[in-house]
Amino acid sequence: MTLTQDAQVTKAAPATTTPRGQAQTSPQASLIVKGKDRPGIVAAVGAVLSDHGANIVSLDQYSDNPQGGAFFQRTVFSLANLRAVLPRIESDLTDRLSGSRDYDLEFTLRDLSAPKRVAIFASKSDHCLLDLLWRQRHGQLPITISMVISNHPDTAEEVRGFGIPFFHVPSAGPDKSAAEAEHLRLLKGNVDFVVLARYMQILSSDFIEQVGVPIINIHHSFLPAFIGAGPYAKAKARGVKLVGATAHYVTEDLDEGPIIEQDVVRVTHADTAADLQRRGADVERDVLSRAVEWHSQDRVIRHGNHTIVFA
């Protein structure tokens, strides 16, 4: 196996500047709470934040059954001295939500001023990859792209133009262990999640277990589904009336992980296979970018094999 790289992986500093002409705002944090529903959860969370002088900017909640079902809440709050106070808020939330007899809830707390770091995996198709790079460059995605990894060198020059490290890691044949070992070496400690931007390789169960961060995949989705090579030609032959895309988390069960986002567009008998592929690529870009944005903003809560999305 050979490995080529264009740059060393660097950890970007959190963005702290405010665009010219806009007023300086207090730093914000996200708080995700989930567990068994019962009275008083919202009040308990609000009380802890209020005790520390935090101002709640937005609050979304959902219960699948108010009588003891599953409860989910996303809160965004602002606080002038957020970084200094965040450890104390976390300690108080632990005592109030996880360490008391009243509640048995899980929660995650994160400073939103530090963008999540992402690695993008890609193959020869570049429409999803370049769309994510463009959106990140123009401030439409609150992420830091740590690297692009591809099993083909085709996109190296274009990725290099965005100033993003590019790693070519060949992955051919039935044994992917050497490639996956290199992937794990590159990713370790450098990313918070991985995006498969039309990466045409199947990840092993061992890799999924060892990578230790969420993985988001995008794929075309038709009714009926067309697997294997030439899906758009197969769709044209069946006279489909819709083409679409699905973004989901990767699990050991191929393409059966929790769904984050989906969309479709209508097509007609007059559309050629090339037309279907072009329109399908447009949907894939939009669906994947929304999934990445929502995940990076802590808007997606996994629950079993489905998700709650506060979009």
pLDDT at 253: 84
Given a contact cutoff of 8 angstroms between Cβ atoms, the answer to whether 99 and 114 are in contact is no
Percentage of the chain exceeding pLDDT 70:
91
Nearest to 298 by CA among 64, 120, 50, 72: 72
Average pLDDT in the 126-149 region? 97
Look at 256 and 130; give whichever has higher pLDDT: 130
Catalytic-residue membership of 255: yes
**Mean pLDDT lowest for which of 67-81, 219-233, 264-278?**
219-233
- Is pLDDT of 274 > 50? yes
What is the model's pTM? Answer: 0.90
Phi and psi, residue 9, nearest 5°: -70, 130
Strands 70-78 and 28-36: antiparallel
Structure tokens at 262: 């989906």
Quote the pLDDT of residue 222. Answer: 66
User: What's the rounded mean pLDDT across residues 129-158?
Assistant: 97
54, two tokens: 């935090």
> How confident is the model at residue 188, as a pLDDT?
96
d(CA 264, CA 221): 8
User: What's the whole-number mean pLDDT along residues 263-291?
Assistant: 95
Give me the catalytic one of 60, 255, 275, 286.
255
Return the number of other C-beta atoms located less than 10 Å from residue 105's C-beta. 21
